[in-house]
């Protein structure tokens, strides 16, 4: 199977590197991007095949990943629609806020279309992606999607009406988590730890805790309770987080992100 990419920016490039690391052959991946220097770098790093334009990708690929900015799709999809409709490849869009119905209106109603929402951690192979498919995408198409996005992390199939919620807790949360890590580090600096060391301590603590929870299979609250010794330092901190609205702040941040995504 030949996989085509239209767009090789931050997310497209991350997915491409993940595919190569996951065992895909560069010779089976056709890529076009307006930035020729970026294409040459991908060719040198990954051995991908460089396409001359978007049309070449649409004419040759069995699965076409549209990894361009959402605003670019409104003009690109109608131009490629005749070729896509004639060949009927799997169409994969990672454009934020653009529904299956929106893509379908621009290229035709009977093509297999899958919408994927990855997050930025795909750049280090630890992404969290969700996908939904239209009625023309069968299990073989979904298998292709899983293979592509499992190369850069975890993948889950969700109903499309849940995508705004997914965006809020997976797409936006890296920013929330990074703020938390930096705030922990600031606290370390406050009590004398050098900033670089404080960042390392905070980041590894978050990473290690996540892995501990994933491997334990226990409810996160139950595991948190295990850390809280009666009358100890951790329970004192937990009670203070609750006093100052930590949980409510997280819920409100997700709500705001969700409502913003619903308006897009």
pLDDT on residue 81: 96
Q: What are the domain boundaries of the chain?
A: 3-161, 171-263
At 206 the three-state DSSP class reads helix
Q: Is the sign of the CA dihedral 116, 117, 123, 127 positive or negative?
A: negative
CA gap 256, 259 in Å, rounded: 5
> Which long-range contacts (C-beta less than 8 Å, at least 24 apart) are formed by 49-53?
51/4
pLDDT on residue 264: 75
Q: What superfamily would CATH give domain 3-161? A: NAD(P)-binding Rossmann-like Domain (3.40.50.720)
At 42-89, the pLDDT tens digits run: 999 999 999 999 999 999 999 999 999 888 999 999 999 999 999 999
For residue 208 the two structure tokens come to 């290690």
| 78 within 8 A of 49, measured Cβ to Cβ | no
The model carries a pTM of: 0.90
**Predicted confidence pLDDT, tens digits, the chain (264 residues):** 999 999 999 899 999 999 998 889 999 999 999 999 999 999 999 999 999 999 999 999 999 999 998 889 999 999 999 999 999 999 999 998 899 999 999 998 799 999 999 999 998 899 999 999 999 999 999 999 999 999 999 999 999 999 999 999 999 999 999 999 999 999 999 999 999 999 999 999 999 999 999 999 999 999 999 999 999 999 999 999 999 999 999 999 999 999 998 887
pLDDT on residue 179: 98
| 171 within 8 A of 119, measured Cβ to Cβ | yes
Q: Which fold has domain 171-263?
A: ProC C-terminal domain-like fold (1.10.3730)
Bridge partners for 115 per DSSP? 93, 132
Residues near 231 by beta carbon (within 8 Å), at least 6 away in sequence:
none
CA gap 58, 188 in Å, rounded: 52
Bridge partners for 193 per DSSP? none
Nearest to 31 by CA among 21, 17, 144: 17
Where is 63: in which H helix or E strand?
strand 63-66
């Amino acid at each position: 199977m030949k996989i085509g990419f239209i767009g090789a920016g931050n997310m497209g490039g991350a997915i491409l590197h993940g595919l190569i690391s996951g065992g895909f052959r560069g010779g089976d991946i056709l890529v076009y991007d307006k930035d020729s220097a970026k294409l040459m770098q991908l060719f040198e790093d990954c051995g991908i095949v460089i396409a001359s334009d978007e049309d070449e990708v649409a004419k040759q690929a069995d699965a076409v990943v549209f990894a361009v900015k959402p605003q670019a799709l409104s003009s690109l999809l109608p131009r490629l629609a005749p070729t896509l409709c004639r060949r009927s490849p799997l169409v994969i869009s990672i454009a934020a806020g653009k529904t299956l119905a929106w893509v379908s209106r621009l290229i035709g109603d009977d093509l297999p279309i899958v919408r994927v929402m990855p997050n930025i951690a795909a750049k280090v192979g630890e992404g969290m992606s969700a996908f939904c498919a239209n009625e023309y995408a069968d299990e073989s198409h979904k298998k292709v999607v899983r293979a592509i996005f499992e190369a850069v992390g975890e993948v889950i199939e969700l109903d499309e009406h849940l995508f705004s919620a997914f965006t809020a807790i997976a797409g936006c949360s890296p920013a929330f988590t990074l703020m938390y890590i930096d705030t922990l580090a600031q606290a370390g600096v406050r009590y004398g730890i050098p900033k670089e060391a404080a960042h390392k301590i905070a980041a590894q603590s978050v990473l290690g805790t996540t892995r501990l929870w994933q491997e334990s299979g226990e409810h996160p609250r139950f595991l948190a309770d295990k850390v809280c010794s009666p009358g100890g330092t951790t329970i004192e901190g937990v009670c203070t987080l609750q006093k100052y609205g930590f949980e409510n702040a997280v819920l409100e941040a997700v709500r705001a992100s969700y409502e913003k995504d619903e308006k897009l």
